[in-house]
Structure 1
Amino acid sequence: MTTVDTKPLKRITNNPILSEDDIPWDCMSVFNAGVCKWEGKYKMLFRTDSGSKEKPNARMTRIGLASSDDGYTWTVDEEPVFDQDKMRSWLKGEYAARFGDEELVRIYDPRITVIDGEIYLCFALDTAHGIRGGVARSTDFRNWTLLHISLPENRNMVLFPERVNGKIVRLDRPFPLYFRTKESFDIWISESPDGYHWGNHKLLLGAEEAECGNAKIGPGAPPIKTEKGWLTTFHAVTHNPDRNLGTWAHHGEWYKEYVAGLMLLDLENPSKIIGMSKEPLLKSEAPYELEGFRGSVIFPGGFILEDDNTVKMYYGAADTVVALAEGKLEDLLATIQPWT
């Protein structure tokens, strides 16, 4: 696959790899996908939004499934994994008896990790009483056992691809507002013996500690294991009220630039940061990243380490399409500077 020279990651030349034209149902965008390797193929769970480009309808958000032999060319299943009806049926025990169908708004922003030969899904869940993060498990990408739903307000959950000291480890991003004067949210880490029960919550990275942004941060894709530590992406936001970055949205103003950051966590104690890249791993440069529903947005969702030490990073671009950038593991590790 020919690539465009951008270090330490290189965008592939046939980006975006998935857009609204590839989806067999009506939608106006496809983005923020989770990607893993499963039974010899690449699998992707992706989000689509539908409705007008100026103001999509949250209750028409769907999660779709795509497959690929090489990680570059994708085939999309005809039926979504989750739409409004499937979501309600799946989660009816959580809310339906008390609040009815209007309580559940949508499932979105999937992340997928294979642990001990099973597929784990992390997702965001909008409800009438707050945004929650969820964890589920499957062996076929279609039938999911619900393990856990967090308290509001929380999202951006990702799981490590293997147990650490016998525990499943999770990164997430709660977003408390009561004591905050600006949008400045942090990355937390927790652990579970079984995926159902979570505890030992710790602050991993404060937003003020990420040099590639001046506002909120949050987990990106599930980490990859290297000899030097868990290589971990995150998203970081720079808010610049004097720079309108462009948007399709009905209000016509957008001032948040999202970039991909990179940090390295200790293998035995992933709540310990070893190092971090001071510069963004990837920031918006290409037209499909600069222009869309929200311009200048890079949102990592898949991070795959190949046998030849190539790393594939799948990311949402401009909240509109899915794109792919590649680099060598040694080049990514070389950007990491010691954490002090």
Structure 2
Amino acid sequence: MFRQPTLLKRHPANPIIKPADFPFGSADVVFNPGQIMYNGKTILLLSILLRNQAYARVHVAESDNGVDFTINPEPAFTRDPERRFGDLDNHPIDCRITQIGDTYYIIRPGNSPKGCIDLMYKTTDFKTFEFMDIVALPHNRVPCLFPEKVGGYYVRLDRPYGGAGQADGNIWLSKSPDLIHWGQYRFLMGPYTNWNWEKIGPTPPIKTEKGWLEIIHGVSSSCSTVSYSLGAVLLDLEDPEKIIGRMESYLLTAEEPYEQTGRTPNCVFTTGAIADMEKRRLRVYYGAADTCIGLAEGDLDEIIDACLKGL
């Protein structure tokens, strides 16, 4: 099979986390981890679906070397046990993590028959999580926070999701004075090339010297398959409503057997990325076919340059 060279390279130990790795031994799939550095360790928030259960849960995993992870057998998030919002908070998955100061903010979807709401939590230790509020109406598929204020406001990227037959798949930008109340909505970008022509979605932006680096996922389809791939966009540091560069080609697409076969075939999907500014490296932990987790790494400056050149 022909393979296009990409700027993200898979780790030789892939898939680095599999359902069989869970300490309680009853996971069907593990996918789409939130990711961040905390006290020198790599932290992942793993989406897990247990056997014979309809609703997912989220567990914390940590690693000293970024490859070998210890998984907490107790979940960080489950289907809301208090049912504070009735049936609104089902199936917690796809956590996005952003550090602002010494606090780590987590936004995750609450899927329900009424649509997808978004719940925000905060933590300082990844052991206890304080619920803040529902921060988006249906249907907003997990907003992603910037790691600092821009122009005096908190800023986030939104992905409205209208469902079948409705306008969706675009990325918007919004602002807030307090992380709870959001407005000043602006359209940022929509699908723009062959690997993402159906829809795109954001992750928490990474601040670099040349702009906000935004890793996106994109979806395309043919007569027989639907494919999820990853790409990159660069936003202006002072005015992130401006796109100053974006890659035309993908960073990663489903090519390995563990990415092509599983609960969602032909899928590589991420909810974030981790940049090492000293080593100038980018790590992306991604869900492979919604079944296991892979790691891909690349040169940070090459990816930024590819955005600026439209490669």
On whether the aligned pair clears a TM of 0.5, the verdict is yes
Counterpart CA distance in 2 for 1:237 and 1:315 is 15
Deviates most, 291-300 or 16-25: 16-25
Counterpart CA distance in 1 for 2:178 and 2:168 is 31
Shift of the alpha carbon at 1:104? 3.4
Question: Quick one: which amino acid aligns to residue 114 of structure 1?
Answer: Q
Counterpart CA distance in 2 for 1:118 and 1:9 is 29
**2:248 is the alignment partner of 1:266:** no
Please state whether the residue corresponding to 1:46 is helix, strand or coil: strand
Structure 2 match to 1:248: none
Alignment TM-score, normalising by the size of structure 2: 0.91
**2:309 is the alignment partner of 1:327:** no
Structure 2 match to 1:288: 258
Counterpart CA distance in 2 for 1:134 and 1:237 is 25
Question: Quick one: which amino acid aligns to residue 70 of structure 1?
Answer: N
Structure 2 match to 1:118: 103
Please state whether the residue corresponding to 1:106 is helix, strand or coil: coil
Structure 2 match to 1:49: 49
Shift of the alpha carbon at 1:261? 1.5
Structure 1 match to 2:30: 30
- Structure 1 stretches of at least 4 aligned residues deviating more than 6 Å after TM superposition: none
Q: Give the alignment of 1:61-210 within 5 angstroms.
A: 61-84=56-79, 87-89=80-82, 92-93=83-84, 95=85, 99=86, 102-141=87-126, 142-177=128-163, 181=165, 184-207=168-191, 209-210=192-193
Q: Which sections of structure 1, spanning at least 5 residues, go unmatched?
A: 244-254
Question: Quick one: which amino acid aligns to residue 66 of structure 1?
Answer: A
Counterpart CA distance in 2 for 1:184 and 1:198 is 19
Shift of the alpha carbon at 1:337? 4.2
Q: Which sections of structure 2, spanning at least 5 residues, go unmatched?
A: none
Structure 2 match to 1:247: none
Shift of the alpha carbon at 1:103? 4.8
C-alpha contact 1:33 1:47 (8 A) present in aligned 2: yes
C-alpha contact 1:212 1:261 (8 A) present in aligned 2: no
Counterpart CA distance in 1 for 2:18 and 2:75 is 15
C-alpha contact 1:212 1:259 (8 A) present in aligned 2: yes
C-alpha contact 1:12 1:324 (8 A) present in aligned 2: yes
Shift of the alpha carbon at 1:271? 1.3
Question: Quick one: which amino acid aligns to residue 201 of structure 1?
Answer: Y
Question: Quick one: which amino acid aligns to residue 286 of structure 2?
Answer: Y
C-alpha contact 1:278 1:337 (8 A) present in aligned 2: no
CA deviation map 1:79-117 (0-9, x unaligned): 111223xx223xx44x2xxx4xx4532221111111111
CA deviation map 1:194-234 (0-9, x unaligned): 21111111111122x34432211111x32211111011011
Please state whether the residue corresponding to 1:164 is helix, strand or coil: coil
Percent identity over paired residues: 37
Distance 1:291 1:77, change over 3 A: same
Alignment TM-score, normalising by the size of structure 1: 0.84
Shift of the alpha carbon at 1:165? 2.1
Please state whether the residue corresponding to 2:122 is helix, strand or coil: strand
CA deviation map 1:105-130 (0-9, x unaligned): 22211111111110100101112322
C-alpha contact 1:148 1:195 (8 A) present in aligned 2: no
Shift of the alpha carbon at 1:338? 5.5
Shift of the alpha carbon at 1:263? 0.5
Distance 1:110 1:191, change over 3 A: same
